[in-house]
């Protein structure tokens, strides 16, 4: 029925040429640039994740070799003194025990030095301390033969995971043909196995990649995160409440505001210099201590927390304040009873993101001496320790192939923590987000 | 929702009225925002070189209808339009129709003056530049001047064409926006409550301007003020709750409307 | 008496005061005819704080002042031949401190025996795992004994004073309790002061940064003239051999600064187009579904620690560039040697650029979405295409904000450490070739300050001069960027 009306319409005005074709080409080009840019960004993300994961996922399993170890009395306690002093057991010749175990298992003559050398090279140096600890814990083992799972040496581990190119001539290979042959024997008998690598999470620093772990670093990071959380949340919230709710608008508060925004953008290494000069040099705190690291990271995180807290305080509508004030609550009561609880989800979200940032921070920790070879767990935040990202840095500087795997594995662990924290922040925001 | 109350176009009736020429025709236009329907099968013809006023209480869908006339609704995520709207007999939602070309023919002036943060000259020259309407600088100058004259702003700004458009007063800014729309030489100009942010004196000037523009352009204006509708328009369409209540000569609507709801609204019983 | 023990006693006293104040307050509200002004909780908190705060204040002041006084007194007892110059005095006083730490572990009987001469001091100390030379001077031992004695006396006195002050304060506070007493106002004033103090931490941090770095840098400039540092073109600090004083080391800032800026330039070259265009795409084109997926993904990129990027550069990007350059060279000239080194300006620049992409895009996204919708509609309503609207209306309107975002990004790039430490190399060279390694200010700060440190050599102190330079550069960039952002916000608010 609209046809009837259309008949009365004017003939279309002579079409102007407004360059539609050309303009749409430009439009498509521009759009394509945007898509390409996004794709490039996402490609890099994918490349990075892929690079780390493909190199690192094997770090979570570790090759072990099970050997029949006989704790022969003449090797571990030649003078038979363990009755009076069990500590002599720690002085035993455990390398020899391993060699004998290997000889028995692989069937070569222990006096054949060439074979013995090749065979013992398959077992990590850390196996000796493992045997020692085992024996000291249970002196009744003397004279007995036990099947013990020992850590394989890093190169054997790599070979077992198929990471070593076997087409290379033997002379230029770190794993020799003889060793490969033994590996096959052991594997077929079920004595060379891959198991979940608990050592990665429980061990401290070690110069042997197969025995190096993140335990000490994780403990240091935990101490630091607790310090940062305990200090920066209350201080940050207090500062934000003052600035947002009480501070008169004058030059001083303006200066503080500019200052906070600037501090949020100061390079992290500058905080390291600050920590070195104030906490260690001036206040005489110990180097390499998690407490100092925590303090430095607190100073670094505070601006982020203050900015997030102020934003969430600002988002609480003034009507809430008026309502409480109208009932005769003091300003302080209004804020602590009403405004702050409502702003809390936002504050916590900001804090978690700040903490996640602090957890991944490396540069300032290098300057306060956390680049340290720490094999023992710190009992207090004042003892030397290291941190997850610093451990990654130290491993990244190691040349050995097996350390690259460890580094990637450590990065996966660190990223998992960070993603969990960020997810927590996102969930918190979703769960409690309010629209006023 | 009273679906029966909407008017459908009766061709015979239309032809009986002095052979009106229809520039745009909406036929059973419905608009959805996500799952929410904002407009219910509205059929409304727009006569050429006439001022058509859309009135009704807030939230009645008049702005939504206006924005669908040059497909500004496209810019809103998950907005969907069904039905048919024609411009010179061509369906503007047809895939072959280009939205840029359409908007060059159906210009729009918004509720709040929104000059670009550029000079007055650049504001007016923007449309002609992007559409390549001027062959050279002199041409462009000419277009800017004519548009500003048409918008009644020339005398006020001719000495400061290169100052920022945002520095003008509210009323001047709105007339600048009208000049900006005029500079593209559209066939239809849509105005979405163009005076709601202006004081009475500025409003009077804009209304006067609308009067003059009528000789060259087809104008559709959404207004909240019935007095304004009565002052500037020849045809008036009354919307309520997403439906078109009635459409008729302005005089008729304001003196003797067919629908009781229109009567109630005009008498100020709701709205 | 140790400080933690004193704190514990003070805390117990505060709890006692709180309980007493509470009882009194309840009694007051029962007996009094007028309504009490403040709730009992405020009364009791007032009494507790009236005792605790002054005592803690005394504790803090005493803990800072008494070691300084003791140090000075003990130093004065050292014979003059042990104090020939500052260095020897510092060295000998260091020995005193070590001995004093050993003396603290001794029982009184052991001290008496050593004083009587039945046991030799050095042997006794070594048996307690205190490293002391066998021929340690008796004056040093006596100074250490004096110091230990003074320390003990000071701690006892401090404990007594603190407890008396706490008791007195609580008593006075208790006396003031009355129905009309405005305890709440006092408590709230105290809270306000605390809040205000917390907010000054920001200023204190900045002051701390400036003062600490300036003071260490001043010591450096006393050894190396300022113009040699700022205009020197050779960086060759030599090694900080203990006591060598750093003769012959050259500390030219120029090669480091050049490397920093060169790498930052490549990073920006990589990050700005990608970041800006993806921000535009996400703000203006992307459907909500794409946006909801891509935005968190890019934010994830921003949450990855820089050490991870460094490692990525070290093991993936660097070797990749090296190998591909060898291939390219081979294809063109037949000579398969790489012209890009694994550690190079290019590697560091690209990886830093990847790190900065999400930074640029999220800042730009905020700024672009801040441009009012009305401007967008105005342009689209005139028949402009989306890209015309973006290029001619939105970007010009958002320009100040984008410029400030780029300045903040540049400041990030200049201050970035871990990527360059792993990917840029350590050779301080002035070279226009981006395929070769160069080093940066931050790398050298790390290099000079890891390992064993001696805070008297220019090799160590130069790090602070570098630090203050870095701080000054980023401060200038940040402040200018923040200033533009403020202006920009005002425009649309």
Output the pLDDT for position A435.
Answer: 58
Last residue of a domain, one of A168, A189, A210: A210
**What's the mean pLDDT in A308-335?**
88
Q: Do A379 and A306 share a structural domain?
A: yes
Output the pLDDT for position A161.
Answer: 82
Contact B72 C375 (CB under 8 A): no
Output the pLDDT for position C246.
Answer: 45
Q: Do C275 and C422 share a structural domain?
A: yes
Residue C230 lies in a domain: no
Span C23-56, pLDDT tens digits: 888 888 788 777 777 788 888 888 888 888 889 9
The yes-or-no verdict on residue B141 having pLDDT over 50 is yes
Output the pLDDT for position A305.
Answer: 93
| Burial (CB count within 10 angstroms: exposed 0-12, middle 13-18, buried 19+), residue A165 | exposed
**What's the mean pLDDT in C69-81?**
83
Q: Do C188 and C49 share a structural domain?
A: no
DSSP sequence for A40-102: HHHHHHHHHHHHHHHHHGGGGEEEEEEEEEE--HHHH-TT--TTT-GGGGGGS-HHHHHHHHH
Determine which of C110-114, C311-315, C397-401 has the lowest per-residue pLDDT on average: C110-114
The yes-or-no verdict on residue B173 having pLDDT over 70 is yes
Distance from the Cα of B150 to chain C's closest Cα (Å) equals 17
Complex confidence, ipTM: 0.86
The yes-or-no verdict on residue B11 having pLDDT over 80 is no
Q: Do A100 and A8 share a structural domain?
A: no
Contact C198 A235 (CB under 8 A): yes
Contact A12 B88 (CB under 8 A): yes
Output the pLDDT for position B9.
Answer: 46
Contact B107 C392 (CB under 8 A): no
**A412 touching C, CB under 8 A?**
no
Last residue of a domain, one of A167, A190, A210: A210
- Specify the DSSP element, H or E, that contains B38: strand B36-47
Output the pLDDT for position B17.
Answer: 52
What's the mean pLDDT when you consider all of chain A?
84
Report the C-alpha gap between A53 and A57 in whole angstroms.
Answer: 5
Q: Do C176 and C110 share a structural domain?
A: yes
Last residue of a domain, one of C192, C223, C254: C223
Contact A45 C202 (CB under 8 A): no
Contacts of C251 (CB under 8 A, 6+ apart): C224, C228, C229, C232, C235, C237, C458, C462, C465
Q: Do C120 and C240 share a structural domain?
A: no
The yes-or-no verdict on residue B12 having pLDDT over 50 is no
Residue C228 lies in a domain: no
The yes-or-no verdict on residue A13 having pLDDT over 50 is no
Q: Do C261 and C217 share a structural domain?
A: no
Output the pLDDT for position C320.
Answer: 92
**C68 touching A, CB under 8 A?**
no
Residue C115 lies in a domain: yes
Q: Do A324 and A221 share a structural domain?
A: yes
pTM: 0.82
Determine which of A13-17, A314-318, C288-292 has the lowest per-residue pLDDT on average: A13-17
Q: Most A CBs within 10 Å: which of B8, B22, B46, as the mutation test of the A interface? A: B22
Determine which of B91-95, B119-123, B139-143, C112-116 has the lowest per-residue pLDDT on average: C112-116
Residue C176 lies in a domain: yes
Contact C382 B181 (CB under 8 A): yes
Q: Do A33 and A163 share a structural domain?
A: no
DSSP sequence for B135-155: SSHHHHHHHHHHHHHHTT-HH
Per DSSP, the three-state class of A288 is coil
Residue C87 lies in a domain: yes
Nearest Cβ partner for B107 among C376, C381, C396: C381
Q: Do C158 and C85 share a structural domain?
A: yes
Neighbours of A81 (CB within 10 A): 13
Q: Do A173 and A119 share a structural domain?
A: yes
Q: Do A53 and A93 share a structural domain?
A: no
Contact C385 A255 (CB under 8 A): no
Q: Do C323 and C282 share a structural domain?
A: yes
**A30 touching C, CB under 8 A?**
yes
Cα radius of gyration (chain C): 33
Output the pLDDT for position B1.
Answer: 39
Give the pLDDT band (50/70/90) at residue C491.
Answer: low
Output the pLDDT for position C247.
Answer: 53
Q: Do C164 and C69 share a structural domain?
A: yes
Contacts of C113 (CB under 8 A, 6+ apart): C119, C124
Domain encompassing residue A50: 2-57
Q: Considering its fold, how many domains does chain C have in total?
A: 3
Q: Do A142 and A259 share a structural domain?
A: no
Q: Considering its fold, how many domains does chain A have in total?
A: 3
Residue C127 lies in a domain: yes
Give the pLDDT band (50/70/90) at residue A436.
Answer: low
Output the pLDDT for position C258.
Answer: 92
- In chain C, which residue's Cα lies nearest the Cα of A393? C307
Q: Do A362 and A268 share a structural domain?
A: yes
Q: Do A275 and A203 share a structural domain?
A: no
**What's the mean pLDDT in C208-229?**
90
Give the angle B109-B115-B120 at the CA atoms, nearest 5°: 115
Domain encompassing residue C114: 3-181
Residue C229 lies in a domain: no
Name the more confident of C327 and A107: C327
Q: Do A394 and A318 share a structural domain?
A: yes
Q: Do C484 and C451 share a structural domain?
A: yes
Q: Which of A354, A338, A334 minimizes the C-alpha distance to A231? A: A354
**What's the mean pLDDT in B252-269?**
85
Give the pLDDT band (50/70/90) at residue C451.
Answer: low
Report the C-alpha gap between A64 and B6 in whole angstroms.
Answer: 83
Q: Which of B217, B220, B177, B219 minimizes the C-alpha distance to B197? A: B177
**B131 touching C, CB under 8 A?**
yes
User: Which of A331-345, A418-432, C96-110 has the highest average model confidence (pLDDT)?
Assistant: A331-345
Last residue of a domain, one of A159, A185, A210: A210
Name the residue with tokens 């006195």.
C157
Residue A194 has phi, psi (to 5 degrees) of -105, 130
Q: Chain centroid to CA C363: how far?
A: 25
Instruction: Classify each residue of A385-409 as buried b or exposed e, where b means 16 or more C-beta atoms within 10 Å of its C-beta.
Output: bbbbbbbbbbbbeeebebbbbbbbb
Give the angle B241-B243-B248 at the CA atoms, nearest 5°: 120
Residue C84 lies in a domain: yes
Looking at chain C, the whole-number percentage of residues with pLDDT higher than 70 is 96
- In chain A, which residue's Cα lies nearest the Cα of B15? A5
What's the mean pLDDT when you consider all of chain C?
85
Chain B residues with CB inside 8 Å of C397's CB? 116-117
Q: Do A421 and A274 share a structural domain?
A: yes
What's the mean pLDDT when you consider all of chain B?
86
**A256 touching C, CB under 8 A?**
yes
Report the C-alpha gap between A156 and A154 in whole angstroms.
Answer: 5
Q: Do A373 and A248 share a structural domain?
A: yes
Chain C residues with CB inside 8 Å of A270's CB? 209, 213, 415, 467, 470-471, 474
């Amino acid at each position: 029925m609209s046809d009837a009306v259309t008949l009365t319409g004017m003939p279309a005005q002579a079409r102007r040429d407004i360059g539609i074709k050309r303009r749409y080409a430009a439009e498509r080009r521009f759009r394509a640039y945007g898509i390409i840019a996004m794709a490039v960004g996402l490609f890099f993300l994918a490349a990075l994740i892929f690079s780390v994961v493909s190199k690192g996922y094997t770090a979570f399993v570790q090759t072990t070799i099970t050997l029949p170890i006989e704790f022969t009395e003449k090797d571990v306690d030649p003078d038979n003194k363990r009755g009076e002093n069990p500590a002599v057991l720690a002085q035993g010749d455990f390398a020899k025990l391993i060699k004998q175990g290997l000889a028995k298992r692989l069937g070569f003559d222990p006096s054949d030095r060439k074979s013995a050398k090749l065979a013992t090279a398959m077992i990590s140096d850390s196996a000796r301390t493992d045997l020692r600890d085992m024996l000291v814990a249970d002196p009744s083992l003397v004279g007995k033969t036990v099947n013990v799972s020992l850590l394989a040496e890093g190169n054997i581990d790599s070979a077992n995971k198929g990471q070593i190119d076997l087409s290379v001539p033997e002379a230029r290979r770190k794993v020799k043909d003889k060793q490969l042959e033994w590996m096959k024997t052991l594997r077929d008998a079920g004595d060379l196995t891959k198991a979940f690598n608990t050592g990665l999470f429980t061990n401290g620093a070690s110069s042997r990649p197969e025995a190096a772990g993140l335990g000490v670093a994780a403990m240091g990071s935990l101490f630091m995160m607790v310090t940062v959380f305990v200090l920066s949340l209350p201080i940050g919230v207090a500062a934000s409440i003052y600035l947002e709710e009480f501070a008169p608008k004058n030059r001083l508060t303006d200066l503080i505001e500019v200052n906070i925004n600037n501090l949020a953008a100061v390079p992290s290494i500058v905080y390291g210099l600050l920590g070195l000069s104030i906490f260690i040099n001036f206040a005489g705190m110990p180097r390499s201590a998690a407490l100092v690291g925590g303090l430095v990271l607190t100073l670094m995180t505070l601006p982020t927390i203050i900015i997030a807290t102020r934003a969430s305080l600002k988002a609480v509508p003034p009507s809430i304040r008026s309502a409480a004030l109208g009932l005769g609550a003091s300003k302080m009561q209004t804020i602590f009873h009403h405004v702050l609880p409502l702003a809390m989800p936002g504050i916590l979200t900001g804090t978690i993101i700040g903490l996640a940032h602090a957890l991944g921070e490396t540069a300032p920790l290098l300057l306060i001496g956390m680049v340290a070879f720490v094999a023992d767990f710190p009992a207090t935040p004042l003892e030397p320790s290291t941190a997850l990202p610093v451990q990654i840095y130290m491993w990244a500087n190691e040349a050995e192939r097996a350390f690259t795997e460890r580094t990637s594995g450590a990065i996966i662990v660190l990223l998992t923590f960070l993603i969990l924290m960020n997810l927590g922040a996102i969930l918190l925001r979703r769960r409690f987000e309010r629209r006023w | 929702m009273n679906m029966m109350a909407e008017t459908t176009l009766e061709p015979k009736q239309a032809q009986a009225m002095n052979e009106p020429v229809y520039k745009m025709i909406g036929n059973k236009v419905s608009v959805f925002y996500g799952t929410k329907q904002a407009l219910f099968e509205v059929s409304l013809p727009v006569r050429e070189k006439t001022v058509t006023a859309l009135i009704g209480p807030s939230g009645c869908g008049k702005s939504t209808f206006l924005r669908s006339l040059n497909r500004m609704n496209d810019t809103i995520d998950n907005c969907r339009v069904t039905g048919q709207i024609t411009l010179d007999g061509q369906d503007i939602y047809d895939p072959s129709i280009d939205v840029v070309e359409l908007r060059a023919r159906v210009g729009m002036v918004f509720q709040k003056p929104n000059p670009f943060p550029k000079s007055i000259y650049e504001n007016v020259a923007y449309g002609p530049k992007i559409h390549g309407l001027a062959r050279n600088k002199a041409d462009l100058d000419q277009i800017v001047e004519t548009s500003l004259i048409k918008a009644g702003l020339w005398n006020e700004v001719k000495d400061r064409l290169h100052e920022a458009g945002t520095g003008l007063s509210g009323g001047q800014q709105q007339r600048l926006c009208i000049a900006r729309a005029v500079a593209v030489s559209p066939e239809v100009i849509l105005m979405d409550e163009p005076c709601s942010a202006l004081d009475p004196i500025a409003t009077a000037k804009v209304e006067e301007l609308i009067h003059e523009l009528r000789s060259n352009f087809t104008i559709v204006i959404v207004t909240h003020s019935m007095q304004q509708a009565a002052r500037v328009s020849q045809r008036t369409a009354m919307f309520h709750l997403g439906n078109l209540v009635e459409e008729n000569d302005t005089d008729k609507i304001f003196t003797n409307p067919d629908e009781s709801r229109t009567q109630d609204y005009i008498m100020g019983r709701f709205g | 008496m140790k400080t933690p023990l004193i704190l514990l006693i003070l805390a117990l006293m505060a709890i006692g005061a709180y309980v007493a104040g509470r009882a009194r307050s309840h009694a007051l509200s029962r007996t009094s005819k007028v309504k009490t002004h403040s709730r009992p909780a405020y009364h009791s908190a007032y009494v507790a704080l009236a005792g605790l705060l002054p005592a803690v204040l005394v504790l803090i002041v005493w803990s800072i002042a008494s070691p300084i006084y003791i140090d000075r007194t003990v130093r004065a007892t050292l014979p003059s031949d042990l104090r020939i110059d500052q260095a020897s005095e510092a060295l000998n006083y260091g020995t005193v401190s070590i001995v004093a730490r050993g003396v603290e572990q001794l029982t009184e009987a052991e001290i008496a025996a050593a004083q009587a001469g039945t046991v030799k001091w050095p042997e006794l100390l070594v048996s307690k795992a205190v490293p002391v030379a066998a021929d340690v001077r008796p004056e040093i031992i006596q100074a250490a004994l004096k110091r230990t004695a003074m320390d003990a006396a000071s701690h006892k006195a401090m404990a007594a004073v603190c407890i008396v002050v706490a008791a007195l304060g609580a008593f006075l506070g208790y006396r003031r309790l009355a129905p009309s007493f405005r305890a709440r106002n006092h408590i709230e004033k105290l809270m306000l002061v605390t809040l205000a103090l917390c907010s000054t931490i920001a200023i204190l941090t900045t002051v701390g940064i400036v003062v600490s770095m300036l003071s260490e840098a001043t010591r450096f400039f006393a050894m190396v003239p300022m113009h040699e540092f700022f205009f020197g073109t050779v960086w060759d600090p030599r090694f900080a051999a203990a006591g060598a004083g750093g003769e012959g080391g050259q500390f030219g800032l120029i090669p480091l600064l050049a490397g920093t800026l060169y790498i930052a330039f490549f990073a920006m070259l990589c990050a700005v187009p990608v970041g800006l265009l993806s921000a535009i795409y996400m703000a203006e084109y992307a459907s909500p579904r794409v946006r909801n997926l891509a935005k968190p993904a890019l934010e994830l990129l921003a949450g990855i620690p820089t050490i991870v990027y460094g490692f990525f550069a070290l093991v993936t990007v660097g070797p990749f560039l090296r190998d591909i350059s060898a291939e390219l060279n081979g294809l063109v000239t037949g000579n398969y040697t790489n012209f890009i080194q694994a550690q190079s300006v290019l590697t560091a620049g690209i990886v830093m650029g990847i790190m900065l992409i999400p930074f640029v895009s999220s800042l730009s996204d905020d700024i672009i979405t801040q441009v009012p919708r009305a401007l967008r509609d105005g342009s689209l309503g005139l028949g402009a295409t989306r890209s015309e609207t973006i290029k001619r209306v939105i970007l010009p309107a958002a320009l100040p904000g984008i410029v400030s975002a780029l300045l903040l990004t540049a400041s990030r790039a200049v201050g970035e450490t871990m990527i360059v430490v792993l990917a840029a190399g350590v050779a301080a060279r002035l070279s226009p070739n981006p395929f070769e390694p160069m080093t940066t200010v931050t790398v050298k700060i790390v290099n000079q300050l890891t390992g064993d440190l001696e805070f008297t050599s220019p090799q160590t102190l130069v790090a602070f001069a570098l630090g203050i330079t870095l701080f000054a550069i980023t401060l200038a960039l940040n402040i200018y960027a923040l200033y533009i952002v403020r202006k920009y916000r005002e425009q649309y608010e």
